[in-house]
Amino acid sequence: MVSSVPASVARRCIASQAATGDNGTMNEYQWPIHGHITSRLIYGCMGLGADSTGTDRAFSALDAAVEAGFTAFDHADIYAGGASETVFGSWLAERGELRDDVLIQSKCGIRPGDPVMYDFSRNHLVTSVEGILSRLGIEYLDVLLLHRPDPLVEPEEVADAFDYLFRSGKVRSFGVSNHSPLQIEHLRAVLDHELVANQLEISLAHPDIITAGTAVNQREPAVAMRAGEVIDYCRMNGITLQAWGPLAQGKYSGADENAAAAVVTELAHRYGVSREAIVLAWIMRHPAPILPVIGTTHPARIAACAEADTVILDRTDWFRLLQAARGTAMP
């Protein structure tokens, strides 16, 4: 159903980090499935529309992201109760010429409340997408992701929803978020649509998915790492990996003092880039490749993050950062 990631794609992805594009912005990356072409970094819109983020600040953040070269924008129907999509829709309406030049993805499947529920039923998925499109003020989503695995999922209902959304022109590509390989296989068994992406938490503070394979046949860590095969699975099946929470809330690039932050600061000076760029470059150095989703609303920090596309960490520096963040040597 899905072809393997071409070696040329992985090589191009790594090579693209060596320099910015001709216009001074980030280089482009072509997704293996369906050929979406986007920046290596994705701008995450979770912080837009929150109580502390007015329209002016949200517009400034989005303008800064475009200026820095971001061409992919990530949403979810639950972000700020839908306000994130609404404010983005207002911004996009004022800059309508951008629609054809950017990729817009959103996620659905979480139903907030008491209790919080996950819902992959056909009705909920279709209704959610219709609400997303209304708030964004657009006719279609480039990518729709299933937000978190639904324990009560009926894959046939997902397939039915996807078929309707695709045939009606409301969604062009589909993917998942926070899914394991087996959960993806469960869906793929009945889907007529390829899954183009899997968005997962990945950072120096949360490196388990990247490092799990190194714990095979080891007594440490005492607690088994989770879904260690997910990166290998996605690479083998051409599924684009996205990293949410890649800056770990500034743990290594802000005011916190810790061993890994000290290494980040040292490397930032040596490579001549921001500390944010080093933290992100650690993720982007992986040959998968992995596209970090950046959520800051501060224009200066957005620009600092974009510098990650100019850095290729050497192997020694990559493992130094990993060891410092782990607090222990590799096995």
Residues 326, 5, 284, 109, Cα dihedral to 10°: -80
Both tokens assigned to 233: 């699975």
DSSP-assigned letter for residue 296: -
Residue 78: closest CA among 145, 158, 140: 145
Phi, psi dihedrals of residue 281, rounded to the nearest 5°: -65, -30
Residues 65, 67, 68, 74, Cα dihedral to 10°: 30
Both tokens assigned to 307: 């510098």
Question: How far is residue 288's CA from residue 286's CA, in Å, rounded to a whole number?
Answer: 6
Q: Which of the residues 79, 164, 252, 271 is marked catalytic?
A: 79
Is 79 assigned a catalytic role? yes
CB atoms within 10 A of CB 103: 20
Q: Is 326 exposed, middle or buried (0-12, 13-18, 19+ CB in 10 A)?
A: middle
Question: How far is residue 31's CA from residue 242's CA, in Å, rounded to a whole number?
Answer: 11
What is the set of active-site residues?
79
